Structure 1
Amino acid sequence: MTVIDANRMNEIKARYPEYFHRSFRQRFGGLMIAIATLLYGLYAVWFFDLPKLFAEARWERVGIYLSQWVSYDVQPEFRIQDDGSIEVRYPRFSPLGDNPHPDWLVNNPDGSVTVSISGTSRTVTVSKSETIVAAHGVSVPVDVSSGAPKVLGPVPSWMTVYDDNVLANLGFGGDVSISVDRVKIRKRFIGWANFLFDPQSSFFDKPAGEVVSLIVSGPRLEPDQSNLSLAFDDIWNNSEWQHGDVWTKLFQTIVMAFLGTLLGSLAAFPLAFLAARNITPNRLLNQILKRFFDFLRSVDMLIWALFLTRAFGPGPLAGSGAIFLTETGTLGKLYSEGLENIDNKPREGVKSTGAEAVLVHRYGIMPQIVPVIVSQTLYQWESNVRGATIIGAVGAGGIGLKLWEAMRTNANWENVAYMVILILIVVFLFDAASNALRHRLMGTKAP
């Protein structure tokens, strides 16, 4: 064990004063940051009133919306006629078409109708005098022969009684609303109904094997059109999913992002040389252009889109213009900062040979700045594909407007899921293409 005397200790303190004479900030800086973070968190909880927000949140809607993304429902209505017969009606735009005969609906010999909500464990039997709901291991009869529906026996927790109707929640499978003269059923199915062919199509409700057989070698369904062409037209013009319109709007979004980024980079490139202090030694011009870039960036792309839609009307032109203005400011700032950080030695070497300014920029500056330009431009291009979706919601064209229209109805969440998946695929492909192109242009190996 080594013993350090006082002289040796003083010598060490003199040699390493930063370790023995630490300032207040060095000693307590980490603790103060932790305390400040905690206080800010408590302030945020109070400011946003998070306990009340979480307590009043409709958490059940999250599950409902998510289930509607991957499912669809059919809503038959059973009307009890004066003669005791039961008439079955479907909504005008039912996924089952104009003349449905589903196998989950059975007409019984006694005149009643049984609907299977989820296999044989959850069923609803409708007759002229009562409706029997079987679920969760019990059968609950509801008398509909008097002035108001009346549950016979104890009311289970999944059933709610109102003045003029009884509502039974059968979980993901659906629900039942029972009144005196009618029973409304919502039956839910996993999947996307009529994704390829809508009820107006000649291929509607046909098995996949039969559709393939008709397209490959079957007789023509339309005398003046091949079955392959007819199938493509029916898919493209599907009235429920609107594939043609969705894909056209998606292509508009891609074009908006590409055109806006391209024009923005072309405008920002020469302006960046004028804004860079080491390239253009004019402080007034430098400051004017940098503040101009700040102005273009400070106004959000969404605000530019609102301005331009008022000026040019809704459409992709306004969206492209909004991206162009934003990217001119963003790329101009990035390019100019990249130019100010270059190594001046190659530039001075080319300049010492008596080369003109264009050649000095070409051989002394461009080899250093190209990686920055390529990297930042490709990243902005990829980012603007997402940005073009957002500004489309305010009328700037593209799939964003289509997405917003589907969300506003609050009933077409499967269409929302379809468009979100398309956007995710496009962003993924653009990200992969951007990375590959960037590594190829910069001569590096992709990870």
Structure 2
Amino acid sequence: MTVIDANRMHEIETRYPEYFHRSFRQRFGGLMILIATLLYSLYAVWFFDLPKLFTEAHWERVGIYLSQWVSYDVQPEFRIEGDGSIDIRYPRFSPLGDNPHPDWLVNNPDGSITVSISGTSRNVTVSKSETIVTAHGISVPVDVSSGAPKVVGPVPGWMTVYDDNVLADLGFAGNVSISVDRVKIRKRFIGWANFIFDTQSSFFDKPVGEVVSLIVSGPRIEPDQSNLSLAFDDIWNNSEWQHGDVWTKLFQTIVMAFLGTLLGSLTAFPLAFLAARNITPNRLLNQILKRFFDFLRSVDMLIWALFLTRAFGPGPLAGSGAIFLTETGTLGKLYSEGLENIDNKPREGIKSTGAQTVLVHRYGIMPQIVPIFVSQTLYQWESNVRGATIIGAVGAGGIGLKLWEAMRTNANWENVAYMVILILIVVFIFDTASNALRHRLMGTKAH
């Protein structure tokens, strides 16, 4: 066992004072950060009134919106006429077309109609005197022969009785609204209705095999157009999903991001040489250009888009201009900082040979900065593909405007899901390609 005397101990303390004489910050810094974080969290809870926000939020809408992303509904209406007959009507733009005969709707021998909402466990039988709703293991008759609908027997929890209406909530499968002279049913299906061909297409509601046979070897449906061309035209001009318009707007978004980033990089590149202190020894010019870059990038891309849509009107030109202004500021700052951090030895060596300034820049600076500049530009381009979607919502064109229009109706959530998925795919492709190019330029392996 080694014994350390006082002299040795004093020598160790003198040599390593940071371990034996720690400052207040070193001893309690971590604890102070923890306390500050806790206090800030409590302040945020109070400032945003989070308890009230969570209790009053409409959480049920989350499930409704998500279900509408992946499903569609059909809404038949059964009108009970004065002679006791039942007239079936569908909305004008029903997913089933103009003359539907669904197999989930059965006409019974006694004149009643049974609608299967979800298999055999949930169905509705409509007759002239009563409507029977079967769900959750029970059948509930609703008498409609008198002045107001009346539930016969106890009212289950999934039924709500109003003065002139009875509403049966059948969950995700749909719902039933019962009044004296009509029954409205909302039946929900998983999937996207008429995604390929709409109800006006000649190929609507045909089996896949029959469609393929018509395209490959069937007789022409339109004498002056091949079936393949007709099928493509019907898909591209699908009135419900508007594939042609969606894809055109998506391409506009990509072009906006590319054009804005390209013009921004081309403008920022020469300005960065003037802003870099070690390249252009003019402090006033350096500061003016750096403050100019700060101004361009401090105004958000969305704000630039609002300005430009007022100046040039809504469209992709305003979007490209907004990206161009933002990227000139962002890339100008990145480029100038990259230039100020280069190794000056190659530059000085070439300068000592008496080479002109252009050659000094070409052989002493460019080999050092080109991979970095290209990498930064690719990253910004990838980011601007996402940004172009956002600024489209304020009228700057592209798929963002299309997405905003679909969301404003609060009814076309399946179309919203379609466009969101397309945006995610495009962002994923550009992210993967950009990462691969950056790693290739930098000479590193992609992970």
Report the TM-score when normalising by structure 2. Answer: 0.99
SS at match of 1:424: helix
Q: Residues 268 and 335 of structure 2 are in contact (CA less than 8 Å); yes or no, is this contact kept in structure 1? A: yes
Deviation at 1:12, TM superposition (A): 1.3
SS at match of 2:198: coil
- Distance, in Å, in 1 between the alignment partners of 2:18 and 2:265 is 48
SS at match of 2:63: helix
- Distance, in Å, in 2 between the alignment partners of 1:431 and 1:15 is 51
Correspondence for 2:274: 274
SS at match of 1:418: helix
- Please give the per-residue CA displacement for 1:404-423, whole angstroms capped at 9, x wherever unaligned: 00000011000000000111
- Distance, in Å, in 2 between the alignment partners of 1:122 and 1:23 is 73
Gaps of 5+ in 2: none
Deviation at 1:4, TM superposition (A): 2.6
Gaps of 5+ in 1: none
- Please give the per-residue CA displacement for 1:206-253, whole angstroms capped at 9, x wherever unaligned: 000100000001111111110000000000000000000000000100
Deviation at 1:443, TM superposition (A): 4.2
- Distance, in Å, in 1 between the alignment partners of 2:26 and 2:440 is 46
- Distance, in Å, in 2 between the alignment partners of 1:126 and 1:446 is 63
- Please give the per-residue CA displacement for 1:175-196, whole angstroms capped at 9, x wherever unaligned: 1111111111100000000001
- Distance, in Å, in 1 between the alignment partners of 2:150 and 2:432 is 62
SS at match of 1:88: strand
SS at match of 1:259: helix
- Distance, in Å, in 2 between the alignment partners of 1:25 and 1:440 is 44
User: In the alignment, is residue 185 of structure 1 matched against residue 193 of structure 2?
Assistant: no
Deviation at 1:302, TM superposition (A): 0.6
- Please give the per-residue CA displacement for 1:55-93, whole angstroms capped at 9, x wherever unaligned: 011111101101111100000011111111111110000
SS at match of 1:220: coil
Deviation at 1:438, TM superposition (A): 2.3
SS at match of 2:172: helix
Alpha-carbon spacing, 1:65–1:337, altered in 2? closer, same or farther (3 Å): same
Deviation at 1:145, TM superposition (A): 1.1
Report the TM-score when normalising by structure 1. Answer: 0.99
Q: Residues 312 and 318 of structure 2 are in contact (CA less than 8 Å); yes or no, is this contact kept in structure 1? A: yes
Deviation at 1:254, TM superposition (A): 0.5
Deviation at 1:431, TM superposition (A): 1.1
Deviation at 1:371, TM superposition (A): 1.9
- Distance, in Å, in 2 between the alignment partners of 1:158 and 1:371 is 64
- Please give the per-residue CA displacement for 1:274-302, whole angstroms capped at 9, x wherever unaligned: 00011111110000000000000011101
- Please give the per-residue CA displacement for 1:84-143, whole angstroms capped at 9, x wherever unaligned: 111111000000000000000011111111100000000011111111100000001111
Deviation at 1:2, TM superposition (A): 3.0
- Distance, in Å, in 1 between the alignment partners of 2:16 and 2:208 is 81
Correspondence for 1:443: 443
- Distance, in Å, in 2 between the alignment partners of 1:444 and 1:54 is 46
- Distance, in Å, in 1 between the alignment partners of 2:168 and 2:3 is 84
More displaced 10-residue stretch of structure 1: 141-150 or 402-411: 141-150
- Distance, in Å, in 2 between the alignment partners of 1:80 and 1:192 is 31
Aligned residues: 447
- Distance, in Å, in 2 between the alignment partners of 1:148 and 1:13 is 94
Q: Residues 375 and 441 of structure 2 are in contact (CA less than 8 Å); yes or no, is this contact kept in structure 1? A: no
User: In the alignment, is residue 426 of structure 1 matched against residue 423 of structure 2?
Assistant: no
- Please give the per-residue CA displacement for 1:339-380, whole angstroms capped at 9, x wherever unaligned: 111111111111111111111111111111112201110000
- Distance, in Å, in 2 between the alignment partners of 1:394 and 1:309 is 8
Q: Residues 372 and 442 of structure 2 are in contact (CA less than 8 Å); yes or no, is this contact kept in structure 1? A: no
Correspondence for 1:71: 71
Deviation at 1:146, TM superposition (A): 1.2
SS at match of 2:260: helix
Deviation at 1:147, TM superposition (A): 1.3
Correspondence for 1:231: 231
More displaced 10-residue stretch of structure 1: 89-98 or 435-444: 435-444
SS at match of 1:266: helix
- Please give the per-residue CA displacement for 1:137-187, whole angstroms capped at 9, x wherever unaligned: 000111111111111111111111111111111011001111111111100
- Distance, in Å, in 2 between the alignment partners of 1:446 and 1:46 is 44
- Please give the per-residue CA displacement for 1:279-336, whole angstroms capped at 9, x wherever unaligned: 1111100000000000000111011111111111111111100000000000000000
Alpha-carbon spacing, 1:442–1:33, altered in 2? closer, same or farther (3 Å): closer
Correspondence for 2:170: 170
Correspondence for 2:8: 8
- Please give the per-residue CA displacement for 1:9-28, whole angstroms capped at 9, x wherever unaligned: 22211111111111101100
Correspondence for 1:316: 316
